[in-house]
Amino acid sequence: MKALLVLALSSLCATAMADEVPADVAQQQPAVEDYTYSMHLDIAKVISMSEVPNVCEVVPVKMEYDDSKGQRHILRYSVMGNGCSSG
């Protein structure tokens, strides 16, 4: 009977500890870096890019990427929106 109780409690503890892992991973989200012209970019793989809004002005966008060492970065930079008509 005691062995069954110990087994039940240990499985509950393991489940509780497993629930904590995603929270630790979320805390490891990299800080957003602002792009400057003097920056040396080491982009090995682009993970995601934010959509460029349909406005006629300069807007900030973000790119998430991995460098050649496998470290994740988030870069914020400015682009011209897609809402301008040429003519």
86 part of a folded domain: no
- Indicate which CATH number applies to the domain containing 57: 2.30.140.50
The helix/strand count (H/E) of the chain reads as 1, 4
48 part of a folded domain: yes
13 part of a folded domain: yes
Distance CA 60, CA 81 (A): 9
10 part of a folded domain: yes
Query: pLDDT of 21-74, one tens digit each?
Result: 555 555 678 999 999 999 999 999 999 999 999 999 999 999 999 999 999 999
Number of domains in the chain: 1
pTM for the model: 0.64
Give the pLDDT confidence score for residue 59 in this predicted structure. 96
Residue 26 belongs to domain spanning: 2-80
87 part of a folded domain: no
Give the pLDDT confidence score for residue 27 in this predicted structure. 61
